[in-house]
Amino acid sequence: MTRFSERTLVEAKVSVAPAPASPHPSATLALTSAATAVALMTYTAPMVTLPDVAADLHTPLSAQAWLLNGTPLGLAALLLVAGSLADDYGRRRIFVAGTLALGLTTALGALTSSTWLFTLARIAQGAASAALLASSLGLIVHAFPSPRGRLHATGVWGAFVSGGIAVGPLLSGALPSWRVSYGVLGTAAVLVAALSARLLTESRAPRGGRPDLAGAVTFGLALVALVAALTLGRDGWLRAPVELLLLASVVLLAVFVAVERRARTPMIDLGLLRHRRFLASSSSGLFTGLAVIGLFSFLPALLQQTVGLSAMDTAWLFLLWSGLSFAVALQARRLAGRVPPRWQLAIGFLLHAAGVLTMLGSLDAGSWVRLLPGLVVAGIGSGLLNAALPLLAVESVPAARAAMGSGAQQTFRYIGSCAGVALTIAIATSSGSGLAHGADIAMLVSAALALVAAASVVALREH
């Protein structure tokens, strides 16, 4: 295994050497934030239109997890790969290619006519989103070299993660159909890509050697197998396809570790796994996906089916959660120097758990009003998470590998998301007492996972 300390010293020496700053730091922040918002809008678009999409594509209940899990599958499989390639090949190049690909695949998604074609389009959208999300933080670190500037920029970027989550369902609910919303989002992504090609400055990690393509292929295939197994496991964990996929993921991960130990310029420095800050970043991303994204991805559909709200009414209701998340994430940079990112994460998880617990019984009572206090508290918690996660991600690795650090944290986030969505759907739809009772059980599980996350982040304090 490559020694982290040796590589860190080498990269640190390179990173402190004067580097030409981006001539357009404000444009860099604006374009990376805009592309991030579009990616998250695309990600969350099916949250309030899931019943309409399923009806239009004739998707059975057992396959609806695929409608939600297509994008996180592409994200989880390629985020770390994209981050490493961005550092080596050029962050601007990967960012522009990913943003353009997101626009084209989203527009194509509007034309699909079956569940599997829609799922394939969503996976492609996830892969494109992986390229722009992983490279965007690398571009920001290059454009804002000072700690103060980087703190401000990552705070704004994290706020636009929440902003995209907020606007996506609202846009989908407001437009005449989910197909029109995909056309609008695809057009927006293409416009951002065109502006980025003109205004962004190229940057890359100053390390020699060839990109770790063998590591990229084995890691990507391992995650595809794992996420596919998590999604198919809803219909039975002991079935042969699920077991074979899990076995394949384990074997491929073992091959990946062997490749990384021998690579001259590995995709990820395995020595990072000994460092508590990197572990805190990765585990926080994983639990954010499991506890937060998993529940809130399917809760709007549950609300429509149990309380009878329309897609637009549901979007407005959940804007309370996602809008507060955006506002809190935008202001959380004021906590810098007072509250470390690790403690922000712990508080965020605790607030999510508290908010979710206050929502218990709301769907069974048929009252959306009873959801309001919980959405407020959970929204504040989500904002703290979205502000602290990107900052901890870039702080947990050498500056020259910022895109890789971002990709690693977000990879765990969307692996957790895939598992969380599958788990939420399985719990909510398997209860013999109906969807409302199943939703309460799913909320209890989400709260418990958030409490475990808070405890783990606190335990991973640096010595």
Q: Of 156-165, 230-239, 352-361, 408-417, where does mean pLDDT reach its minimum? A: 230-239
**Tens-place pLDDT, residues 81-108:** 787 788 778 899 999 999 999 999 999 9
Give the highest mean pLDDT range of 60-69, 147-156, 308-317. 308-317
CB 196 within 8 A of CB 101: no
d(CA 239, CA 235): 8
Output the pLDDT for position 306. Answer: 86
* Cβ neighbours around 26 below 10 Å, total: 11
What's the pTM value of the predicted model, to 2 decimals? Answer: 0.74
Residue 24 or residue 16, greater confidence: 24
Output the pLDDT for position 399. Answer: 65
**Tens-place pLDDT, residues 254-293:** 999 898 888 777 777 777 777 788 888 888 889 998 999 8
Start-to-end CA span in the chain (Å) = 23
Residue 271 or residue 114, greater confidence: 114
As a three-state string, the secondary structure of the chain is CCCHHHHHHHHHHHHHCCCCCCCCHHHHHHHHHHHHHHHHHHHHCHHHHHHHHHHHHCCCHHHHHHHHHHHHHHHHHHHHHHHHHHHHHCHHHHHHHHHHHHHHHHHHHCCCCCHHHHHHHHHHHHHHHHHHHHHHHHHHHHHCCCHHHHHHHHHHHHHHHHHHHHHHHHHHHHCCCHHHHHHHHHHHHHHHHHHHHHHCCCCCCCCCCCCCHHHHHHHHHHHHHHHHHHHHHHHCCCCHHHHHHHHHHHHHHHHHHHHHHHCCCCCCCHHHHHCHHHHHHHHHHHHHHHHHHHHHHHHHHHHHHHHCCCHHHHHHHHHHHHHHHHHHHHHHHHHCCCCCHHHHHHHHHHHHHHHHHHCCCHHHHCCCHHHHHHHHHHHHHHHHHHHHHHHHHHHCCCHHHHHHHHHHHHHHHHHHHHHHHHHHHHHHHHCCCCHHHHHHHHHHHHHHHHHHHHHHHHHCCCC
Arithmetic mean of pLDDT, 334-346: 79
Tell me the CA distances in angstroms from 242 to 67, 215, 225, 245, one per residue in order: 19, 24, 9, 5
Phi, psi of 208 (to 5 degrees): -85, 180
C-alpha closest to that of 140 among 408, 393, 358, 402:
402
Q: What residues contact residue 271 under an 8 Å CB cut-off, 6+ apart?
A: 1, 2, 3, 4, 5, 7
Output the pLDDT for position 382. Answer: 92
Arithmetic mean of pLDDT, 335-354: 86
Output the pLDDT for position 402. Answer: 64
Q: Of 66-80, 135-149, 184-198, where does mean pLDDT reach its minimum? A: 66-80
Tell me the CA distances in angstroms from 229 to 69, 226, 277, 305, one per residue in order: 12, 5, 29, 27
Output the pLDDT for position 337. Answer: 64
Q: How many residues does the structure list for the chain?
A: 463
The yes-or-no verdict on residue 155 having pLDDT over 60 is yes
d(CA 454, CA 291): 11
* Cα dihedral: 421, 118, 160, 458 (round 10): 20
Arithmetic mean of pLDDT, 24-32: 89
Give the pLDDT band of residue 20 (cuts 50, 70, 90).
very low
Give the pLDDT band of residue 183 (cuts 50, 70, 90).
very high
Output the pLDDT for position 105. Answer: 95
Radius of gyration of the chain measured on its C-alpha atoms? 21
